[in-house]
Amino acid sequence: MKDSESKIQNPHDKFFKETFSNPGVARDFIENYLPEPILKLVDLNDLEIQNGSHVDEELSEVFSDMLFRTKINQRDGYLYFLFEHKSYPDRMVALQLLTYGSDLEPESQPRE
C-alpha cells in the first residue's frame, strides 16, 4: 500500500483526494448516492478517513480511492470510494469494480 499524500499520480487523483478529504463533501456525496435504506444505517457524523490507497500500483493512473471508517448499523464499518477515470465507455466496468472491491481488506481489519 502506498501513501496517498506523497504519491499523487495525476490531476484526476489529486482532485479526487483533495475534494473527498473534506468530510462535508464526502457526507454530501454519500447522502445523494447511497440508497435510502442503506443510508439510514450509516452514521455520517462519524466519518474518519483512513490513510493509504488500496489500488494496485499499475492501476493508479486510472483509479483513485479513499476508505472511510464509520459506524454502520451501530457497528464499526467502512465505506470505500473507488473512482475510475475513463475516457471511453467500457462494458466491463462492473466486473472490474467487483474484482477490485473484493480485494479490499483494511489494515486495521483483523483477518479471520
Q: Looking at residues 55-73, what average pLDDT do you find?
A: 76
Integer angstrom CA distances of residue 91 from 42, 51, 94: 30, 31, 8
Q: Which structural domain, as residue segments, surrounds residue 86? A: 11-102
Instruction: Count the neighbouring beta carbons within 10 Å of the beta carbon of residue 22.
Output: 11
Whole-number Å distance between alpha carbons of 21 and 66 = 8
Helix residue spans in 1-112 (DSSP H): 11-20, 23-33, 36-39, 93-102
Contacts within 8 Å (CB) and 24+ apart, 75-78: 77/42, 78/50, 78/106, 78/109
Report if residue 40 sits inside a domain: yes
pLDDT at 107 over 90: no
* Band (82; pLDDT cuts 50, 70, 90): confident
Report if residue 43 sits inside a domain: yes
* Band (31; pLDDT cuts 50, 70, 90): very high
* Band (96; pLDDT cuts 50, 70, 90): confident
When divided into structural domains, the chain yields a total of 1
Report if residue 109 sits inside a domain: no
Report if residue 112 sits inside a domain: no
Report if residue 36 sits inside a domain: yes
* Higher per-residue confidence, 8 vs 41: 41
Nearest to 80 by CA among 64, 95, 56, 93: 64
pLDDT at 16 over 60: yes
DSSP structure class, residue 36: H
